[in-house]
Each structure stands twice: as structure tokens, then as C-alpha cells.
Amino acid sequence: MDGLRASIVITLVLLSIQGWTGDYANLFASFPTGAVGATLAGFWQAVGNSGVLVLYHAVEAILLLTLSFVTLVLSFRRRIGRLFSILGTASVISAAIGGILFVLSGFQNNANSAQMGGSFIGAYAFFFLALYATK
């Protein structure tokens, strides 16, 4: 398996885990109440106070964002699945923005949570299409 296909497969596996931890957080996590300071420290404090799985979800998001850019660069080097990699990476960025805004809203703005979930579905679909394009 070449590097591009391997990075796509790893991205899809991590997206699957991200989806499961996100569903768990949505259904069972106890989010802290009150305002979240609009700083990096405030963000991580709010995430850390929400439980280990929510903290893992946030850390994995950083890994997914990095891996999606690696996949994007590899797709430009091989010219295969480029459009799907662009759209998948854009979806991961959109999900990350939704997640950050959801936390900064004090876990109250459900539109940001929906953005995160919808963008996850888009990323999953686009990276599967990228995998298909590289076969």
C-alpha cells in the first residue's frame, strides 16, 4: 500500500473513532456550565473538565486535522483523488471550527455541534471517495 492510500485509510479509521467519541460525548458527557474564556487555556480547561473521552476527542481532532493535510499534500504529489482530498480536508477544518465554537459557547450552541457532525459526515464521505479514486 502506498503512502497516499495508507494515509487515507488511517484517516478513515481515526474518523470512525472520532465519530464514536463524538456520539458518546453528545449523549453522555457532563459538560461544565458557565462561560468559557475565549482563550486557548479556557478552551482546554472546559474540554478537560468534560471528561477524559471529550479530551481525547479534542486531541484526536488535532491529529485528524494534521493527517488530512498530509493526505492532501500526498494527493497533490500523485494527482489522484485531489478534489476529494481537498473537500475532505475542508470538511475536517469545518468540523474543527464547529467544535471550537461549540466549546467556546459554553457547550450551548447546538448549531455548532450540528456543524461538527455534518462536517464529519462530509469528511468521511470525501475520504472514502478519495480512497476509491486511488484504487
DSSP 1-27: --HHHHHHHHHHHHHHHHHHHHHHHHH
Q: How many domains does the chain have?
A: 1
Count the Cβ atoms, other than its own, within 10 Å of residue 37. 11
Which residues form the domain of 62?
3-133
CB 22 within 8 A of CB 119: no
pLDDT score recorded for residue 98? 94
Low-confidence ranges of the chain (pLDDT < 70): 1, 34-35, 37, 39
Task: Please tell me the distance from the alpha carbon of residue 63 to that of residue 76, in angstroms, as a whole number.
Answer: 20
Q: b or e along 62-98 (b: 16 or more beta carbons within 10 Å of the residue's beta carbon)?
A: eebeebbebbbebbeeeebbbebbbbbbbbbebbbeb
Model's pTM, two decimal places? 0.88
pLDDT tens profile 47-82: 777 778 888 898 999 999 999 999 999 998 877 789
pLDDT score recorded for residue 129? 96
